[in-house]
Amino acid sequence: MIQKLTQRSFKYYALLVVSLLFPLVGFFVYAVQYQARFFTILAAALSVNIILLFLFYRRLKLKKSELKLQREDFFEKANVMKVELQKEEGAINAFRQKILAYSQLRGFVEKVSMCLSLEDSAQTLCRELGRIFEHGDATVILYLMDAATGELAIVAAERAQRAVNIKTKRGDVLDHWVMKNLQPLHLEDTRNDFRFDMERIEKEAERPVRSILCAPMIVNNKLVGVLRLDSPVPFKFHKEDLRFLNAAGDVAAVALENAQLYDRVEDMAIRDSLTGLYLRRYLIDRLQEEITRHLRRDKRVAFVMLDLDHFKQYNDQFGHTAGDLVLKHVATLMKEHFSSPGNLLCRYGGEEFCVVLSECTKEEAVFLAKGFVKLVESEVVVLRRERTPVTVSAGVAVFPDEAKTKEELIQRADQLLYEAKRKGRNRVCSV
């Protein structure tokens, strides 16, 4: 635009100069050909033209100065507009990133909220965070507060959508800092941060850690756990990642607390509130599963039915509270004695208990049952400051040697239990 104005002004002044010089040329030719004295008039006209040209020259310089100022003003406005456009573009990109983050957070909330149990919630949480951050070498770790000890306890850990084994089961110094201060932590490069002894942390964890994101999960001013991402690569995470992790931690805290509540309610529905053992209806459902599994693998499953001897005497002599203490005492001994993985302990009803022994032969089951009978007999219970002996009787049956269905297995063990009662109690009966 400025270039066009300059060309237009140049054409205007060139035309003006030509229009002034053309009469002078004519006068000069006339004076040479016809009248020599006409040169005086020509000199006067030439002087006037020179003055006019000087004035035009000055005006032209002023115009050029004005055009130069206009040009500078134009470029200044163009630069301002360019900066504003860059700002607008940055704002648009930031807005797009926020939309993407909110979309990811929405999907994260939907998937986590669909989980009911704590195990499913923890696994979904780690898996979705790993997918969102898309860092193949980053490890996602979830710690929850242990209500019994008041310390952190690892619940789930994943890297590249696969479960990993983390040595620091109770968290390291970084996790404890977040737990203590209830503040998120972002370390771009652990080698440049002198607040923590990273050599010791890496030695305990047995893996390199260079960049870290760590956020507390809080519900109603109560710490639920700590959510952590770490990577062996420095500068892997940014401030926006920390903001997202913090928001995800708030959502995860509510979901995990609800999952813990669900697990407690579900546990109450299948466990006896007095002894902590499984209830009879749960046993019936699980026993069929165990029988089917063992039958498919051609293995034996043993069923032990237990009954407290002369239990009514404890209630009559010391009251029902004393009877509850005896039941809890026997249940505790059962948990200690039949502690092998896969065993299923149940309060069958009243003073009756039962144990499902996974992949157990008849000889092994009888040996375990006799050992438990002796254990109960050796452990004296103090009721109202009086040392009171407690004994149990047991019947042992094995599937599929002695029964073909779960009902037959239970009935056979019950028959053997009453045979032990008839033979004098405090003993084990089997075929």
CATH number of the domain residue 205 falls in = 3.30.450.40
pLDDT at site 254 = 86
Whether residues 77 and 168 share a domain: the answer is no
Query: Which residues, listed in sequence order, are joined to residue 219 by a DSSP beta bridge?
Result: 222
Question: Is 322 a domain residue?
Answer: yes
Tell me: the pLDDT tens digits for 223-271? 999 999 988 888 888 888 888 888 888 888 888 888 888 887 877 788 8
Residue 408, number of CB atoms within 10 A of its CB: 14
How many structural domains does the chain have? 3
What's the pTM value of the predicted model, to 2 decimals? 0.58
Tell me: the pLDDT tens digits for 97-122? 666 666 666 777 777 777 788 888 88
Angle between helices 198-205 and 173-181 (to 10 degrees): 110
Whether residues 196 and 63 share a domain: the answer is no
Question: Is 103 a domain residue?
Answer: no
Long-range contacts of 289-294 (CB under 8 A, 24+ apart): 290/344, 290/356, 290/358, 291/399, 291/405, 291/406, 291/409, 294/358, 294/359, 294/399
Whether the CB-CB separation of 391 and 356 falls below 8 Å is answered with no
Whether residues 243 and 144 share a domain: the answer is yes
Question: Is 110 a domain residue?
Answer: no
Question: Is 17 a domain residue?
Answer: yes
Question: Is 305 a domain residue?
Answer: yes
Name the 3-class secondary structure at 258: helix
Whether residues 364 and 265 share a domain: the answer is no
pLDDT at site 2 = 46
**Considering 270, 302, 327, which residue would you say is the last residue of a domain?**
270
Whether residues 286 and 416 share a domain: the answer is yes
Whether residues 235 and 152 share a domain: the answer is yes
Question: Is 179 a domain residue?
Answer: yes
**Active-site residue 351, yes or no?**
yes
| Sign of the dihedral through C-alpha 66, 70, 71, 72 | positive
Question: Is 275 a domain residue?
Answer: no
Whether residues 169 and 232 share a domain: the answer is yes
Whether residues 17 and 131 share a domain: the answer is no
Whether the CB-CB separation of 393 and 307 falls below 8 Å is answered with yes
Whether residues 311 and 232 share a domain: the answer is no
**Domain range spanning residue 174?**
119-270
Measuring CA to CA, which residue among 146, 141, 214 is closest to residue 178? 214
Whether residues 178 and 288 share a domain: the answer is no
CATH number of the domain residue 423 falls in = 3.30.70.270
Question: Is 184 a domain residue?
Answer: yes
pLDDT at site 32 = 63
Query: Residue type for 360, please?
Result: C
**Considering 236, 270, 304, which residue would you say is the last residue of a domain?**
270
Ranges of the chain with pLDDT below 70: 1-43, 45, 91-92, 94-105, 135
Whether residues 265 and 300 share a domain: the answer is no
From 351, 363, 379, 407, active-site residue: 351
Buried b vs exposed e over 371-396: b needs ≥16 C-beta within 10 Å?
ebbeebeeeebebeeeebebebbbbb
Whether residues 75 and 185 share a domain: the answer is no
**Considering 270, 305, 329, which residue would you say is the last residue of a domain?**
270
